[in-house]
Amino acid sequence: MSADPAARPGRLGVGVVGAGRVGAVLGSALAGAGHPVVAVSAVSQESRERAAALLPGVPVVDVPEVVRRAELVLLAVPDDALPGLVRGLAETGGWQPGQIVVHTSGRFGVDVLAPARAAGVIPLALHPAMTFTGTSLDLARLAGCAFAVTAPAPVLPIGQALVVEIGGEPVVLPEEARGLYHAGLAHAANHLVVLVAQASEALRAAGVPEPGRVLRPLLDAALDGALRAEDASGPDGPGAIAALTGPVRRGDAGTVGEHAVTLAALGTRTGAVDVPNGYGALARAATSRALAAGLLGAADAQRVLDALTGINPGTGALDTSDGPGPAPGPDGQDDGGTAPQEDA
């Protein structure tokens, strides 16, 4: 095989629709694998600057022209915009038979590309399980990044090969599982950010001037431990909850109760009522999962829940019937200013 990626057989002219944080980076990654980017669409000034930085020399044209020039069309637009974009291009005759059309939405599979499929395109859904900065830093982070690949069986190898070419790891996902998959990723990545924001507010109120510096080693260790526990657990093990530490794990209801009172006071004083509410919701979830995994006895679990009474009241009863089970089973993309898909 030639050392020059562009000299390899099967190179495709790529058109990028949407020079958001995902589109520009994946376009650059495909170019690095030898697939020349022939055109890009970019509406906002921010996206134009991103295209210039990551796709230098690539013509910036309108969406129909991107599609006209490309053998592989990369649709990197917000989820809500995707169905209308695909349908609109079909209605104007923009799709070409034999074109490969890839979208990067986590929410959708290939059914959303049905209007394009009717015109003879090859449909692929490739979603990277990663947050993007929209800079060249993301290119190195693609190495080993999981991509959910959804496609009709005959063309599934095309999607898998594209992922491997840019350094990712393809994970085949059926159409009907896309919604649950994306909800899981959004719950993890987005709400982790919210958790850090809430914890930082409490630390600042306690007089800690640099909450991020204090939290970093603690959260790095907690996240690493949880992920290691999940990887080591297997489908029938306790999963990430095995790494739980702290007052809930110890059944230390007095400490949990003090946390509840202190954070409620913070919410009253500052208006940040999401902080005690978030603590209460997650402490209850931790109690339920620790009980189901055998890490906490029923009496201790009930005392912890009782200590949380008053935060999100009405959810303090201990359910010992089924619980979540010992381990949960497996089952933007923007163009400048819109909400990025890649954060979910």
pLDDT band at 7 (very low <50, low <70, confident <90, very high): low
Query: For residue 301, is it within any domain?
Result: yes
Using CA atoms, how far apart are residues 54 and 334, in angstroms rounded to an integer?
Answer: 15
The structure tokens listed for 152 are 């009709």
Average pLDDT score, the chain: 90
Q: Looking at residue 155, what is its pLDDT?
A: 98
174 shares its domain with 184: no
Q: Are residues 104 and 248 in the same domain?
A: no
pLDDT value at position 334?
Answer: 43
DSSP secondary structure string for all residues of 135-146:
STHHHHHTTT-E
d(CA 332, CA 41): 13
> What is the model's pLDDT at position 4?
66
Residue 26 lies in a domain: yes
194 inside domain: yes
Mean local confidence (pLDDT), 288-313: 91
- Whether 228 is covered by a domain: the verdict is yes
Same domain, 187 and 274: yes
Q: In this structure, are 224 and 257 located in the same domain?
A: yes
- The per-residue pLDDT for range 43-55, each reduced to its tens digit, is 999 999 999 999 9
How many domains are contained in the chain? 2
Q: Residue 24 above 80 pLDDT? A: yes
**How many whole angstroms separate alpha carbon 14 and alpha carbon 16?**
6
> For residue 315, is pLDDT > 50?
no
Alpha carbon 67 to its chain's center: 27
Band of pLDDT at residue 340, cut at 50, 70 and 90: very low
Q: Is 156 within the bounds of a domain?
A: yes
> For position 322, what pLDDT does the model report?
39
Specify whether 16 is located in the same domain as 122: yes
Dig out the tokens for 91 from the structure: 């209605």
Is the Cβ–Cβ distance between 94 and 62 less than 8 Å?
no
Q: Is residue 40 part of a domain?
A: yes
Among 152, 178, 204, the domain-final residue is 178
Residue 49 domain-assigned (yes or no)? yes
Residues 38 and 118 in one domain: yes
Beta-carbon-side half-sphere exposure of residue 92 (alpha carbons within 13 Å)? 11
On whether both 261 and 160 belong to a single domain, the answer is: no
Query: Sign (positive/negative) of CA torsion 42, 99, 54, 336?
Result: positive
Q: Is there a single domain that holds both residue 47 and residue 142?
A: yes
Q: Which two tokens stand for residue 110?
A: 């290939």
For residues 289 and 312, what is the distance between their CA atoms, to the nearest angstrom? 19
Q: Choose one of 178, 201, 231: the last residue of a domain.
A: 178
83 and 16 co-located in one domain: yes
At 85, which CATH number? 3.40.50.720
- The region of weakest confidence among 118-122, 220-224, 230-234, 303-307 is 230-234
Residues 186-201: tens digit of each pLDDT: 999 999 999 999 999 9
- Please state, for a pLDDT cut of 90, what percent of the chain lies above it: 85
CA distance 324 to 292: 7
User: What is the C-alpha to C-alpha distance for residues 154 and 124, in angstroms, rounded to an integer?
Assistant: 11
**In this structure, are residues 165 and 157 in contact, taking their beta carbons and an 8 Å threshold?**
no
Going by pLDDT thresholds of 50, 70 and 90, the confidence category of residue 236 is confident
Pair (142, 248) in one structural domain: no
For residues 259 and 265, give the distance between their C-alpha atoms in angstroms, rounded to a whole number.
10
DSSP 8-state code for residue 243: G
pLDDT in tens, 67-125: 999 999 999 999 999 999 999 999 999 999 999 999 999 999 999 999 999 999 999 99
Same domain, 105 and 162: yes
User: Is residue 137 domain-shared with residue 192, that is, in the same domain?
Assistant: no
- Cβ partners under 8 Å of residue 197, min gap 6: none
Q: Which secondary structure element, helix H or strand E, spans residue 230, and what is its range?
A: helix 211-233
Give the end-to-end CA distance of the chain in Å, rounded to a whole number. Answer: 37
State which of 161, 178, 195 marks the end of a domain.
178
Instruction: List, for residues 301-310, the tens digit of each pLDDT value.
Output: 999 999 998 7
Note whether residue 201 is domain-resident. Answer: yes
Q: At what angle do helices 21-32 and 45-54 cross, to 10 degrees?
A: 20
| Structure token pair of residue 6 | 């562009």
φ/ψ (deg, to 5) at 144? 85, 0
**CA 119 to the chain's CA centroid:** 31
> 108 lies in which domain range?
5-178
pLDDT band at 234 (very low <50, low <70, confident <90, very high): confident
235 pLDDT band, cuts 50/70/90, is confident
Residue 35 CA from chain centroid, whole number = 26
